[in-house]
Amino acid sequence: MKLPIYKSVLWGLPAVVILSLILYGCPSQQNLASNEEAAQKVYVAPGEYDEFYGFMSGGYSGQMSVYGIPSGRHIYTIPVFSQLATNGYGYNEETKAMLETSYGFVPWGDAHHPELSQTNGVPDGRYIFINENNTPRVAKIDLKSFQTTEILEIPNSGGNHASPFVTQNTEYISAATRFSVPMGEDGDKDVAIDSYEENFKGTLSFIKMQDDGSMKLDFQILVPGFDYDLSHAGKGPSHGWSFFTSYNSEEANTLLEVNASKNDKDFIAAVNWKKAAEYAAQGKGKIMPGEYVRNYIDKEDHIAKTERNSEVRVLDPRELEGMIYYLPTPKSPHGVDVSPDGELIIAGGKLSTVIPVHSFEKMTQAIENEEYEGEIDGIPVLKYDSILAGEVENPGLGPLHTEFDGQGNAYTTAFISSEVVKWSLDTFEVLDRIETYYSPGHLMIPGGDSQKPWGKYLVALNKITKDRYLPTGPELFHSAQLIDISGDKMKLLLDFPTEGEPHYAQGIAADIVMKDQVKFYKLEENNNPYAVKSEEETKVVRDGNEVHVYMTTIRTHFAPDNIEGIKVGDKVYFHLTNLEQDWDVPHGFTVKGANTSELLLMPGETRTMVWEPKRVGVTPFYCTDFCSALHQEMQGYIRVSPADSDVEIAYGTG
């Protein structure tokens, strides 16, 4: 009989729901396209392809994730700076060397910014680059095979953050240090941390893309000891220049949160890389010590090799004029982005209340007229008012990064106010804004940092996920959000989770990348010295306590699949060649107790696993990738005898 008491409350329930409907419209649908419209726009029917590839940085996973846009489907993960047990990258003998550094083998990296190679200022689908911040490196991924084929370490860098941004024909790839550090011989580097102002320096590195497709560290420019944050190269009229944001012009070495946020303005470094490249070609500057490696997949035998270097050419603006100018920019700027026409240089002043927009034309004029307000370590500082094209008012709190739609609009993320703000490159007026969930860092429009963006979709890469998906305990995947930018108003279409932390992303029309895909490796072109191209050539060879097993796979057996004569204490190299010659027929291989990952063999490929048997007995091995109806039959045995046994090597199949 308590019900009457609640009766009025119960009557109130529908009333509240109806009232909120009237007041707020459909719940959770502010900024949303209608569900039906959104669903249609992101629906890619079974068997059909997405319109764009989206390449998302894997952040602290060290890898790069590949998504279909607009569906948001995660279609692949490219291993880059971290070992990937799934396919043996960085574990097997053929790829281990990719993760070699001047500090030795490093199994993990902090990946940051993917950047597609460009021709004539447009993504060309040949390569995608990505930087590693912690152990400074730049990787090149071949988009024919989606394999990491080269990794170049950057010396004299405290952390490779402002990287790897390409010039409009991929002549150069930039790499600037986030942390300034003391440089030179050991004696110069062992200094007190509070001698920062005196001893710490930064470097802006320029990697040359050579004719054979390999990367070469061409030169570094010595710069004051600020933190260098992000970069983009000029294009069109500004081709030949690169722009780098810097903060901590206070040169603080502790509690940067406070101490590096004091100055009203920091700087964008405008680098005339063509001029610098000329100086380097003339042998100017000096050769400084700097240990670094270059790892690459040898085109002949598909085995990763490491090349070691110990010095680098360094150009000093105090001695070489006209290479670099500082553009004063409020206030600890983060991103720097160049409009598709190459004229406007836009900074995300993360603590600023406006978005400052510099004019390239005004900048060159100011350089010509020497409109300087000072000089720092040989670098002229241009007058803010002489270079400014305008300021975007009310851009949201914490503006970070800007991309473009190719139709006269710019889109900037505002981290603190959790929104993307659309504004006009013509009037600098804010045209539209849309909330994101939550706190976007980078954003990506396919081709959105090039001369010809595909201005249809925008992906906001959010740093905070909270309640967007089913909860998975304390740790959550980051959330990305797909926004329709084809109309005047931005419309939220889709949420999808991303791996690691996607700092930046790149997108490209799918057909550009699809047309040159490698589907399998031709056996005839397999030059791995341990390859065997038919079962007839398979063998097991003992050499002291090293045993080399030359094995083949094909649906659905190994040859050989019975091996005897292995002893405890041996070091066994399994060299497996997948004899398949068809798309999507990998085989896997593992052996019980192996202290490494499996091997995953693409058709026509050879991969090697090292196994050191520890126990006497018969050890099974098997195919790990369900390859055919008789996959469960794809297995074998290895007899392991005591170290002092005299069992002879014997092997066979069938």
In the complex, minimum distance from the CB of residue 42 to other proteins, in angstroms, rounded to a whole number: 13
Q: How many residues does the chain have?
A: 654
Residue 535 binds other proteins (CB under 8 A): yes
Residue 39 binds other proteins (CB under 8 A): yes
In the complex, minimum distance from the CB of residue 15 to other proteins, in angstroms, rounded to a whole number: 9
In the complex, minimum distance from the CB of residue 126 to other proteins, in angstroms, rounded to a whole number: 24
Among 145, 169, 214, 556, binds other proteins (CB under 8 A): 556
In the complex, minimum distance from the CB of residue 145 to other proteins, in angstroms, rounded to a whole number: 16
Residue 50 binds other proteins (CB under 8 A): no
Instruction: Write out the DSSP string of 442-477.
Output: EEE-TTTTSSS--TTEEEEEES--TTSSS-BTB---
Among 13, 23, 255, 470, binds other proteins (CB under 8 A): 13
Helix/strand/coil for 295: strand
Residue 557 binds other proteins (CB under 8 A): yes
CA–centroid distance for 103 within its chain: 21
- Contacts (CB under 8 A) with other proteins, residues 514-533: 520, 523-524, 533
Residue nearer to other proteins on the CB measure, 336 or 579: 579
Q: What CA–CA distance (Å, rounded) separates 203 from 311? A: 14
Residue nearer to other proteins on the CB measure, 181 or 554: 554
In the complex, minimum distance from the CB of residue 159 to other proteins, in angstroms, rounded to a whole number: 46
Any idea what the Cα angle at residue 115 is, between residues 448 and 314, rounded to 5°?
125
In the complex, minimum distance from the CB of residue 449 to other proteins, in angstroms, rounded to a whole number: 35
Among 208, 555, 571, 592, binds other proteins (CB under 8 A): 555
Q: What CA–CA distance (Å, rounded) separates 650 from 551? A: 13
Among 14, 187, 474, 544, binds other proteins (CB under 8 A): 14
Number of amino acids touching other proteins (CB under 8 A): 44
Among 2, 5, 36, 190, binds other proteins (CB under 8 A): 36
Interface region with other proteins, contact rule CB under 8 A, candidates 173-181, 323-331, 385-393, 575-583: 575-583
In the complex, minimum distance from the CB of residue 21 to other proteins, in angstroms, rounded to a whole number: 7
Any idea what the Cα angle at residue 440 is, between residues 438 and 446, rounded to 5°?
130
Helix/strand/coil for 347: strand
Residue nearer to other proteins on the CB measure, 144 or 555: 555
Cβ atoms within 10 Å of 49's Cβ, excluding its own: 14
Residue 40 binds other proteins (CB under 8 A): yes
Residue 654 binds other proteins (CB under 8 A): yes
Residue 11 binds other proteins (CB under 8 A): yes
Among 47, 104, 187, 544, binds other proteins (CB under 8 A): 47
Q: What CA–CA distance (Å, rounded) separates 355 from 428? A: 9
Query: Which one-letter amino acid corresponds to residue 544?
Result: G
Residue 30 binds other proteins (CB under 8 A): no
Q: Judging by beta carbons within 10 Å of its beta carbon (0-12, 13-18, 19+), is residue 590 exposed, middle or buried?
A: buried
Q: What CA–CA distance (Å, rounded) separates 504 from 441? A: 8
Q: Judging by beta carbons within 10 Å of its beta carbon (0-12, 13-18, 19+), is residue 470 exposed, middle or buried?
A: exposed
Residue 615 binds other proteins (CB under 8 A): no
The strand ranges marked E within 133-171 are 137-142, 147-153, 160-162
Q: Is 634 within 8 Å of 623 (Cβ atoms)?
A: yes
Residue 541 binds other proteins (CB under 8 A): no
- Helices (H) and strands (E) counted in the chain, each on its own, are 9, 45
Residue 195 binds other proteins (CB under 8 A): no
- Contacts (CB under 8 A) with other proteins, residues 582-601: 582, 585
Q: Find, among 634, 590, 620, 592, the residue nearest to 91 by Cα.
A: 590
In the complex, minimum distance from the CB of residue 509 to other proteins, in angstroms, rounded to a whole number: 23
Q: Is 258 within 8 Å of 362 (Cβ atoms)?
A: no
Backbone conformation region of residue 601, classed left if phi is above 0, alpha if psi is from -120 to 50, else beta: beta
Q: Is 113 within 8 Å of 164 (Cβ atoms)?
A: yes
In the complex, minimum distance from the CB of residue 458 to other proteins, in angstroms, rounded to a whole number: 23
Residue nearer to other proteins on the CB measure, 255 or 629: 629
Residue nearer to other proteins on the CB measure, 438 or 520: 520
Cis peptide before 286 (omega within 30 of 0): no
- Contacts (CB under 8 A) with other proteins, residues 339-368: none
Interface region with other proteins, contact rule CB under 8 A, candidates 362-370, 404-412, 465-473, 624-632: 624-632
**Which DSSP helix (H) or strand (E) runs through 391?**
strand 388-393
Residue 46 binds other proteins (CB under 8 A): yes
Residue nearer to other proteins on the CB measure, 7 or 515: 7
Q: Which residues bind other proteins (CB under 8 A)?
A: 3-4, 7, 10-11, 13-14, 17-18, 21, 25-27, 29, 34-36, 39-40, 45-47, 520, 523-524, 533-536, 552, 554-557, 559, 579-582, 585, 628-630, 654
